[in-house]
Structure 1
Amino acid sequence: MSDTTETSENPRLLLVDDDKTFCMVLRQALEKRHFEVFVAHDLEAGIATAEEVEPEYAVIDLRIGHDSGLNMVKRLVELDDNTRIVMLTGFASIATAVEAIKLGAIHYLTKPADADEIMTALHKDAGDDKVEIKDKPLSVKRLEWEHLQKVLVEHDGNISAAARALGMHRRTLQRKLEKRPVKD
């Protein structure tokens, strides 16, 4: 939570990420940009903070410990559908990007993202028709990663249920998910 106890005129921003160093650096950068920043390092604290401070903006990590940041996006939208939410992730996936947007996030960025990129994303109202389209198709390993993410999202982040749907052992799925996706 913010160290400030008096009410600020600055817009409130909720930052939920389990990487404490990243949060500290990003918090400082966003406070310099005139935000009142509230930080949580797990889903439960993030929800409690959101209910208490009613943020206008939120920056949410996709994977918060073993929890899905998609649950945080859904809860923020339930509290106030005007909250401008940016989803961050070190594990970019088409399936999770689509779900984040469907749930109410306005943008999806891959880490490392700096404060300027996050600021641009928080204030972006429309898509960019100048985004580069790649000629090269995704690799088989990347397609596998995307498929695993899609099935995991379909089962609300429940690894056991996703593993059953995929016909694989839960531990095998966990190992595959822990690996970074192949860059294409």
Structure 2
Amino acid sequence: MQETAERLLIIDDDEMFCHVLDRALSRRGFEVLVAHDAAQALFLARRHQPQLATLDLKLEQESGLKLLPELLEIVPNCRVVVLTGYSSIATAVEAIKLGAVNYLCKPADADDVLLALSRAEGDPETEVADNPPSINRITWEHIQKVLQEHDGNISATARALGMHRRTLQRKLQKRPVRR
């Protein structure tokens, strides 16, 4: 391994995804570190000071959004891309506000990750959708927004939405609705 290889920390609880991304990025010359939870991620960040990181939004029982500021406190110049299978406008906005350089929806491959990490500026040529999101998608987005406002507290979110906590938990277990 070259001395100048950039260190990239993958933080994701999906071991297969980590393995595939690790191999692809290692082949491209990166020194790859992998963490499956917040404690392991913070330990590796302190010890190895990665220049780049991918951070899963939903780590088992932990929120990637809560981990992001802690990670950037340890490694302030680290460029972090948040990856998620549960995308929403609310979490994308919060991730950027908290210091992520980009936000990607899974599935994402190594090329997607590297492109997201390399982009320093927004793209004004990004296409705007021709049709509005579905009512189901709007509902999903609203739930995510209210969940963020209540710091991920499901009981408080359920009360704010006027629904039973278990109903909300079932809705949150499902993949987000397509636009």
Q: TM-score, normalised by structure 2?
A: 0.94
Partner residue of 1:180? 175
Moved over 4 A (4+): none
Q: Does 1:94 align with 2:89?
A: yes
One-letter identity of the residue aligned with 1:111: K
Q: CA deviation at 1:19?
A: 0.5
Partner of 2:129: 134
Amino acid in the other structure paired with 2:15:
K
| Matching residue within 23, 26, 34 for 1:28 | 23
SS of the aligned residue for 2:29 comes to coil
Structure 2, gaps ≥5 residues long:
none
Size of the aligned set, in residue pairs, is 179
Asked if the contact 1:81–1:104 (Cα under 8 Å) also holds between the matched residues in 2, the reply is no
Tell me, yes or no, if the aligned pair for 1:58 and 1:83 is still in contact at 8 Å: yes
Q: State the 1:47 CA deviation.
A: 1.7
Matched residues in 1 for 2:86 and 2:127: separation? Answer: 20
- Runs (5+) with no aligned partner, structure 1: none
Deviations 1:48-87 (A, max 9, x none): 2212211111001111112111112111222232110001
Q: CA deviation at 1:8?
A: 4.1
1:138 positional shift = 1.4
Aligned sequence identity (%): 56
C-alpha separation in 1, matches of 2:136 and 2:30: 40
The structural deviation recorded for 1:149 is: 0.6
